[in-house]
Structure 1
């Protein structure tokens, strides 16, 4: 008796009349079917299949009422409750009772709602969740942007600047994606939900670009904190268990790479400005004559500049782990070392084959450091280079030289043709 009263109280505590009615009906279905199994089953011959007969009748009655409720104007909470009963409570709790399951063929009962009604509820639920995720993301971004505008410095944790943006939104997104997938049984809906993250990252990028243009005093600290956020977002997007479509994952990673580059470009541009006088000494005859002193001055200046990154989280200071980058300088060094024209042509042809993005202008800049090359030598090298470029190449290294700017007036020469 007390157990029954507790159940009644739980039903009464539900927040809407629709929830109370659905819950009451569902529990009554189970209660009455248990009576059929326990008390009536033995009163009928086996061929009457009385348990399944009653199950079909109760199922149809419950289904008819749910259709009426679903076709009324239900709000999100009631919509979610009906879907939860259809997907979870009714098939897994009501009909899966250990005493009922043996005597009832669940698969023969059919769906509780026609496809049209179910689809309408699913679309209402998904639309609400989609808007909810969008609101979370952009509200969190707006709060961060306001902090930037108000000059509020980011917090320090364990000695490093950090921001809560990723930590605030990613768990909410992750939980919502899991809920949508579980309730709707659709990975495609989860994919659609995660497109909101793509739109959010694009807005994040725009906000960061505007910040860099304004150049507030505390921008190094803000960018240091944002690099941590960018790292966390990238880690989330890259994980294969997260349900991104290929297009959305690619778009997100591209935007995150842009975000990281915005921060890196700001920091590096300041360093390059300070080091520019030292750069001018590199790849000159003076450098060849006393390169140790030039390199020492450059390293000292770099070390002094690195102090500004001591409050940047180590994972955001890591350089590239690509080994092919280490091969470029030795190849250029070999071009400068070689004196024999044939060997030089071969080395340049090999360099152009391995790095097809290198331009003739860039090659001429390197050759300009060699004082023993005549105009005919340059023409011979150009002809050899053109011939080798026309041949189909094998798989080459990633682009590098296309990102290295060379002034157009650095070296000019007349065509050999």
Structure 2
């Protein structure tokens, strides 16, 4: 049998610092439009950058101050990194060399002199993100110089190449910490995020401004935010694509699903707990990571679904797509609130999910059918080989019912573990297979009853199979199965009882014959022998379950009452006097009390038989035809199968005229409204 592998909140996951510590080669934040800029940077890095002539710088500053002031937002961003002021008499470059690395130096304000390209390059190479402000100011002034004219195109291109080379350095300093955000000190990460946010605002400002003809190459928007998002996607691909660790008892697909699930859940929890408080809300850091990991999970699931999967992997794929992924990851206690507004969707399209579900149902039903047939075949072999059944609490026990119930239940549980709806679909299919199995079980048991009578453990195996019916019945009631499924079990039980009682009833047959042979003169003695015979044989049935012992005793009770009535109907002597009839009625009543008392003692629940003999005795005793009619009418309400033939046989004892008999028989023509669920008594007795 297949064993399901429950996903218990991604078991075995170890929370370690840096859950998003993505090993491997560093990401290269590179786009096609930046190749030329990088080439320029290479050139600028290989030789000392040439500072702009002071006259040009002064002219640029003067023209810039005449046009318009810089946005306040940019100045505000610069203040994030500025913690002090320059000391008097100390040059910028010398001061930067003198200050320790951990204390960022204050940059000139918007109105102060700009650092040289060489100074900016040195700052950026040291990782000083404070250089972002002056660099953006340098970029703007270059654009203003190009718009104002007066500077040669060649000079503008030379200056822009140096600015772009500096932006390449800045980009790496900004996006580098974001590539391994959990390894980056929080303050450094905040600085990088502030610069990235300011660059995004500058991109939007330039995009919103009216384009003007310029000799400068278009460098905005730079799309650094998209580069970061792309880097997250690349890291998600690398993380989710790692080979899963070896795990005994799991298939490769199961190990892959488990590895991806643990990775995604652990990484997103780290993003929520450690990165979300640091990232600006507009970056949507949780959404970026969640969407990237979801895309990788979906891609690998989709690729796997293209192959012809084995039954076990089909189940596991559906289990992850329909249950574990949405419930244990997306809607887990730690992530549900964060991912609620992010529409990640399903890992597979609905149409493909339905096809996989159809495949699963077909596979599972076929597997259940095969497993049940195999279990019955093994059980039948044990019967034929005369293997004694187990004893459990003093009763004959067979594992067949338990095996079949487990096979059905596991199929049901597997489907329900995917979705409740799939569980409902498979229930009807499994019950249909169970009905077919029970019919096969009944046929195999009847074949055993017929062929294996001489085996030593024959009766024990019969009782074991009767005991099986209880387990089946309880499970069918639990599953709310149609009552029709009980039919084969009832037949099996009935034939089993017949087999067990056959010897006893054979021994009782000559004893019952004495009632007619001795003309009832020694009925008390005969009945005593009958009771004694039954009592002697009772231990033979002790290995039946208690409920089936009661049913068996009811059959014994029914047999005693039935055979007594049979002999009563076969009396050949007519009792014409009232005295003789009352004497016979007294004997029947006394015998009825003996039978009732004995059968109650041995556990028969058949209270419905208590009136069968006493009321017949009353019919025999009564002399008034009207009174007899009333008694017969009442009797027919209790035993609807009491026919005119049976009534005629009883009335024949009284020697009544044909007209009287006909009149009394007519009462049975009136429909008395038979009570529900009546049991057979007189339909078992042939007369005439």
Q: TM-score when scaled to structure 2?
A: 0.52
Aligned mates of 1:157, 1:97 — CA distance in 2: 45
Specify the alignment match of 1:262 in structure 2: 495
Specify the alignment match of 2:168 in structure 1: none
Q: Which runs of 5+ in 2 are unaligned?
A: 1-12, 20-238, 555-604
Q: CA deviation at 1:149?
A: 1.9
Q: CA deviation at 1:406?
A: 0.4
Which has the higher Rg, Structure 1 or Structure 2? 2
Q: CA deviation at 1:398?
A: 0.6
Aligned mates of 2:389, 2:257 — CA distance in 1: 50
SS of the residue 1:358 aligns to: coil
Aligned mates of 2:251, 2:280 — CA distance in 1: 40
Q: CA deviation at 1:74?
A: 1.5
Greater alpha carbon shift after TM alignment, 62-71 vs 258-267: 62-71
Aligned mates of 1:10, 1:172 — CA distance in 2: 34
Q: Within the alignment, does 1:83 sit opposite 2:325 as a pair?
A: no
Asked if structure 2 preserves the Cα contact closer than 8 Å seen for 1:41 and 1:50, the reply is no
Task: Describe the superposition over 1:311-369 as per-residue Cα deviations: whole angstroms up to 9, x where unpaired.
Answer: 4444431134353232333322322222221111111122223333322222222323x
Asked if structure 1 preserves the Cα contact closer than 8 Å seen for 2:390 and 2:398, the reply is yes
Specify the alignment match of 1:167 in structure 2: 402
Residue from 409, 417, 423 that aligns with 1:182: 417
Q: Within the alignment, does 1:214 sit opposite 2:498 as a pair?
A: no
SS of the residue 2:448 aligns to: helix
TM-aligned CA distance change 1:397 to 1:381, over 3 Å: farther
TM-aligned CA distance change 1:129 to 1:4, over 3 Å: farther
Q: 5 Å matches for 1:3-402?
A: 11-14=244-247, 15-34=250-269, 36-37=271-272, 38-39=274-275, 42-45=278-281, 49-52=284-287, 54-105=289-340, 108-185=343-420, 186-218=423-455, 219-238=458-477, 240=478, 243-245=479-481, 247=482, 250-282=483-515, 286-287=519-520, 289-319=521-551, 320=554, 321-368=605-652, 370-386=653-669, 388-389=670-671, 393=673, 395-396=675-676, 398-401=678-681
Asked if structure 2 preserves the Cα contact closer than 8 Å seen for 1:220 and 1:267, the reply is yes
TM-aligned CA distance change 1:59 to 1:226, over 3 Å: same
Task: Describe the superposition over 1:177-232 as per-residue Cα deviations: whole angstroms up to 9, x where unpaired.
Answer: 22322223222312322332222211111011112222422322221222222232
SS of the residue 1:103 aligns to: helix
Q: CA deviation at 1:3?
A: 5.9
Specify the alignment match of 2:599 in structure 1: none
Aligned mates of 1:292, 1:70 — CA distance in 2: 81
Q: TM-score when scaled to structure 1?
A: 0.82
Aligned mates of 2:464, 2:430 — CA distance in 1: 27
Specify the alignment match of 1:413 in structure 2: none
Q: CA deviation at 1:54?
A: 4.7
Q: CA deviation at 1:265?
A: 1.1
Aligned mates of 1:204, 1:22 — CA distance in 2: 40
SS of the residue 2:338 aligns to: coil
TM-aligned CA distance change 1:394 to 1:107, over 3 Å: farther
Q: Which runs of 5+ in 1 are unaligned?
A: 411-417
SS of the residue 2:388 aligns to: coil
Q: CA deviation at 1:25?
A: 3.8
TM-aligned CA distance change 1:325 to 1:110, over 3 Å: farther
SS of the residue 1:161 aligns to: strand
TM-aligned CA distance change 1:151 to 1:116, over 3 Å: same
Q: Within the alignment, does 1:406 sit opposite 2:686 as a pair?
A: yes
Aligned mates of 1:20, 1:153 — CA distance in 2: 44
Aligned mates of 1:163, 1:45 — CA distance in 2: 66
Asked if structure 2 preserves the Cα contact closer than 8 Å seen for 1:140 and 1:165, the reply is yes
- Higher-RCO chain (CA-CA 8 Å, sequence separation at least 6): 1
Aligned mates of 2:641, 2:391 — CA distance in 1: 42
Asked if structure 1 preserves the Cα contact closer than 8 Å seen for 2:376 and 2:441, the reply is yes
